[in-house]
C-alpha cells in the first residue's frame, strides 16, 4: 500500500504533506503508512485543514482501490473453506476472522456454493445485528415429517474485524444502521492508524472483536493464524490472554 501511495501521490508531495503535519520520518527508506496516517488524523483532529483532510481522503481512496480484488481462478480460498468446513456437523461452525477489507472470501463462498453467516440479515436490505451470528442453516425433508433437523454442511461464519468494502452506514431516524451493499462510496472500515483500538469498541466492529475473544476462551479451540503480523496490539493481547488460560492449541 505504501508503494501505491507513493506511486499515485508522489514522494515529494508526501514529504510536503508530512512536513505540514510536523511528521519527520518520511524519507527514502520510510514505508510505514499506518504511522503517517495516525499522525495525520491526530493533526486533523486538533487543527482541521482542508489540505490535510483532502490528503487523508486521497490515501484512504488508494487503500480502497487496492483492496478491491477479484478472486483469481487459482486462488486457494475455496480449497481452504472446503477443508475447514469438512468436519462433523455436531461441532460448532468453522469461523474465519479477518482483518482484510476485500471480498475474496465472499467471492469464494459464492463460487463454491457456501452460505456465509456474516452478521447481516438475509432479507433486503441486509442489516447488521449481532444476533444473526446465532442463527444457522438447516435442511428439512419435504416429503415426510421428521423430529430432528439436519444442519447444512456448506456453511461458515465470517467476521471482518476491521470492516469491509461492502459495508455502509445509513441514517435510520435518530440512529444509524449498518447495511451490506454493493461498493458504497464511504465503506465502514477501520483504516490503518493508531485509532484502531478505539474504533474496535464501536459497532459493528465491537461485535466482531467480542466474538473473537469469546471463541478464543472456548474449550478445545484451534486457532490457525495466516498472514497476521501481530502488529495490532489489542488482538495480540487477546491471543496472549487465551494462551495464558491454556484454552488455545
Phi/psi for 14 (5° steps) reads: -65, -40
Q: Which of 1, 2, 50, 42 is nearest to 22 (CA)?
A: 42
- The number of beta carbons lying within 10 Å of the beta carbon of residue 219 is 5
Q: Could you tell me if 12 and 169 are in contact, meaning their C-beta atoms sit under 8 angstroms apart?
A: no
Angle, nearest 10°, between helix axes 11-20 and 50-67?
A: 130
Q: How far apart are CA 117 and CA 93, in angstroms?
A: 10
**Cα angle at 213 between 210 and 218, to 5 degrees?**
125
What's the pTM?
0.89
Phi/psi for 158 (5° steps) reads: -130, 120
Q: How far apart are CA 25 and CA 215, in angstroms?
A: 39
Using only C-alpha atoms, what is the Rg of the chain? 21
**Cα angle at 223 between 104 and 110, to 5 degrees?**
25
Q: How far apart are CA 164 and CA 74, in angstroms?
A: 23
Q: How far apart are CA 246 and CA 69, in angstroms?
A: 37
Q: Which helix (H) or strand (E) holds 141?
A: none
pLDDT score, position 247:
47
- Per-residue pLDDT in tens (0 to 9) along the chain, 249 residues: 999 999 999 999 999 999 999 998 888 888 999 999 999 998 988 888 999 999 999 999 999 999 999 999 999 999 999 999 998 888 889 999 999 999 999 999 999 999 999 999 999 899 999 999 999 988 877 665 555 568 888 999 999 999 999 999 998 888 889 999 988 889 999 988 877 777 778 889 999 999 999 999 988 889 999 999 888 888 999 999 998 876 445
Q: Which residues of 138-148 are buried (b: 16+ CB within 10 A; e: fewer)?
A: eeeeeeeeeee
Q: Which of 78, 161, 72, 71 is nearest to 114 (CA)?
A: 78
Q: How far apart are CA 24 and CA 246, in angstroms?
A: 43
Residue 214, CB-side half-sphere exposure with 13 Å CA sphere:
9
Q: Which of 104, 93, 70, 72 is nearest to 226 (CA)?
A: 104
Omega prior to 153 cis, within 30 of 0: no
**Cα angle at 196 between 192 and 199, to 5 degrees?**
130
Amino acid at each position: 500500500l505504501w508503494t501505491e501511495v507513493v506511486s499515485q501521490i508522489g514522494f515529494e508531495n508526501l514529504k510536503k504533506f508530512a512536513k505540514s503535519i510536523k511528521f519527520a520520518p518520511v524519507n527514502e527508506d520510510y514505508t510505514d503508512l499506518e504511522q503517517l496516517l495516525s499522525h495525520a488524523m491526530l493533526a486533523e483532529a486538533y487543527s482541521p485543514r482542508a489540505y490535510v483532510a483532502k490528503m487523508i481522503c486521497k490515501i484512504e481512496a488508494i487503500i480502497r482501490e487496492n483492496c478491491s480484488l477479484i478472486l483469481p481462478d487459482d486462488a486457494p480460498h475455496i480449497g481452504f473453506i472446503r477443508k475447514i468446513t469438512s468436519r462433523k456437523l455436531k461441532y460448532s461452525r468453522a469461523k474465519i476472522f479477518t482483518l482484510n477489507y476485500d471480498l475474496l472470501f465472499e467471492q469464494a463462498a459464492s463460487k463454491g456454493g457456501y452460505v456465509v453467516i456474516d452478521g447481516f440479515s438475509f432479507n433486503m436490505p441486509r442489516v447488521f445485528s449481532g444476533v444473526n451470528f446465532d442463527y444457522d442453516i438447516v435442511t428439512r425433508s419435504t416429503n415426510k415429517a421428521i423430529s430432528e433437523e439436519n444442519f447444512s454442511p456448506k456453511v461458515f461464519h465470517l467476521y471482518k474485524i476491521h470492516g469491509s468494502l461492502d459495508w455502509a452506514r445509513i441514517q435510520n431516524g435518530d440512529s444509524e444502521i449498518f447495511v451490506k451493499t454493493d461498493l458504497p462510496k464511504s465503506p465502514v472500515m477501520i483504516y490503518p492508524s493508531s485509532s484502531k483500538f478505539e474504533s474496535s469498541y464501536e459497532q459493528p466492529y465491537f461485535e466482531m472483536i467480542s466474538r473473537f475473544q469469546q471463541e478464543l476462551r472456548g474449550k478445545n479451540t484451534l486457532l490457525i493464524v495466516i498472514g497476521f503480523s501481530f502488529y495490532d496490539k489489542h488482538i495480540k493481547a487477546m491471543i496472549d490472554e487465551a494462551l495464558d488460560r491454556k484454552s488455545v492449541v
